[in-house]
Structure 1
Amino acid sequence: MKVGFIGTGSMGSILIEALIRSGALAPSAIIAANRTREKVLALAERHPGLLAARSNIEVVLEADLIFICVKPAEYKRVLDEIRKLTMPEQIIVSITSPVLIRHLEEQLNCKIAKVIPSITNFVQNGAALCMYGTRMEEEDKTALEELLAPISEPIRIDEKHTRITSDLSSCGPAFFALLVQRFVDAAAVETGIPYEEATRMASRMLLGTGLLLTEGGFTPETLQKRVAVPGGITAEGLKLMDHELDGMFNRLIRITHAKFYEDLAKVDAAFLNAIE
């Protein structure tokens, strides 16, 4: 199977690198194109055998499964290029959350899927959120999930939950990285501990906490109870955090959803104009 990538920016390149490093794909099984060709040429230089296509058209003509990894505003341009070239047996996979499956099924005559990856896939971890169009057969879904399994845990979700699941899985690493950064900044300012040393300890703590929650049998609630002795130091810290964080994540979810629906409205308008 030849796998194509249209767009090799931040997430497109992460997917390519992760799939190659995990052994899920050989470089020779990949063809990729990017508006800035230097980026895809750099990937081809790092991974001999990877084919740097000269255009999106070349990707569609050569690949069986194609990931479209571009921003919402670029979708109309991409689809205008490839619309007449896709074949019914091909699979197009969008990784852009405001572009809905129905948008693509209205524009293209092939099989459509949507996958929301995470930066954690770069270290062969985290989830890949999978959604499928009406033309996808069960064997198509299985093939895509088997491709993603070496770098993630593929999780099938309802497309109506795209935004909140993306917040948890895809945006979450940045959100929790900010919490770690603030924790480390405060530790360095308040105590004088070297910043690099505090960062190393906090990062290992976050890794261990994730393992406790995924493999150690703990839930967020039981982990807090296990660490915090009533009346102890951790309990005092948790009391402060519970107060200060009250409502913060609710506001965060409202903000990400508002931005999602703003982007969705723009995509809807662009695709409506394309149909007309």
Structure 2
Amino acid sequence: MTYGFIGTGSMGRTLIEALIRSGKVKPSEMIVTNRTKAKAQQLADRYPGLRVAADNRQAIHESSVFFLCIKPGEFRTVLDEICDVVREDQIAVSITSPVMIADLEKWLRARAAKIIPSIANSVCDGNSLFVPGPRLTEEDRKQLWDLFSAISQPITIAESDTRVASDLASVSPAFIAFLMEKLADAAAEETNLPRETALALVTRMAHGLGRLLTDGGFTLESLQERVAVPGGITREGLNLLQEDIGPVFNKLIRLTHAKYEDDIEKVQQSLRAKIEK
């Protein structure tokens, strides 16, 4: 089995390295390509056996399953280049959420799926979002599920839920990290605690919080109730957060959805020209 990767940017590299780190895929079972070839070569240098293709067409030609790890605006160019070498016996996986499976199937003869990874997959944790295309066989589904189970907890979602599920599984690590940094900064600004100490405390806290929620039997609600005793400092703090944060996360979801809808429209406009010919 050979796995091809078109694109070795942030998420493409995360996926490649996670699969190698998990032991599920050997470097010798991978062939990669990138618009900036030096980035692909860096991976090959780091993981002996991993091959760098001369171009996208070679990566596709030599793959049984290939991953499209590219930005929405690059899809038209890449699909133009590879569409005539894609075969019916291949599986095409897009990790780019605004690209619709129906559009992939109009351009490519392969059986298609959308799987959205998370930065947490780099440590073989977190979720991956699995949107199977209608052409996938049951064997295909099992193969992809088994592959991503090595680096994550896959979850099947409807394509219409891709954006909101991505906000929670793939984007929120950045949002939560931002909030944690702001909490540490406030502590350092309001007291004599060194910023480095504040950052170390919230970072280790997050590690323990994750374990409490996964292994400790707590839910988000029950954890708050355990820590926030009536009349205590934590309860006062939670009341302040409830009052001041207000609808900020609702605004955040609306913002990401607006950007997502705009990206979908741009991608579909770029792909529609050939489809209508």
**2:6 paired residue number:** 6
C-alpha contact (below 8 Å) 1:76/1:274 kept by paired residues? no
**1:59 paired residue number:** 59
C-alpha contact (below 8 Å) 1:97/1:116 kept by paired residues? yes
The 1-side partners of 2:198 and 2:138 are apart by: 48
Superposition deviation, residue 254 in structure 1: 0.2
Superposition deviation, residue 274 in structure 1: 2.2
The 2-side partners of 1:90 and 1:194 are apart by: 55
Matches within 5 A, 1:17-36: 17-36=17-36
**1:121 paired residue number:** 121
Q: Deviations over 1:224-247 (max 9, x none)?
A: 000111000111111111111111
TM-score by length of 2: 0.98
After superposition, the CA RMSD in angstroms is 0.8
Q: Which runs of 5+ in 1 are unaligned?
A: none
Is it true that 1:75 corresponds to 2:75 in the alignment? yes
Percent of aligned pairs with the same residue?
51
Matches within 5 A, 1:70-219: 70-219=70-219
C-alpha contact (below 8 Å) 1:11/1:69 kept by paired residues? yes
The 2-side partners of 1:54 and 1:184 are apart by: 47
* Secondary structure of residue in 2 paired with 1:151: coil
C-alpha contact (below 8 Å) 1:3/1:63 kept by paired residues? yes
Letter in 2 for 1:265: E
The 2-side partners of 1:159 and 1:127 are apart by: 16
User: How many equivalent pairs are there?
Assistant: 276
C-alpha contact (below 8 Å) 1:31/1:51 kept by paired residues? yes
**1:245 paired residue number:** 245
The 2-side partners of 1:211 and 1:150 are apart by: 19
* Secondary structure of residue in 1 paired with 2:150: helix
Q: Deviations over 1:11-34 (max 9, x none)?
A: 000111111111111110110000
Superposition deviation, residue 216 in structure 1: 1.9
Q: Which runs of 5+ in 2 are unaligned?
A: none
C-alpha contact (below 8 Å) 1:24/1:147 kept by paired residues? yes
**2:230 paired residue number:** 230
The 1-side partners of 2:275 and 2:34 are apart by: 25
Superposition deviation, residue 2 in structure 1: 0.5
The 2-side partners of 1:218 and 1:109 are apart by: 46
Q: Which runs of 4+ in 1 moved over 3 A?
A: none
The 1-side partners of 2:166 and 2:217 are apart by: 24
Which range moves more in the overlay, 65-74 or 142-151? 142-151
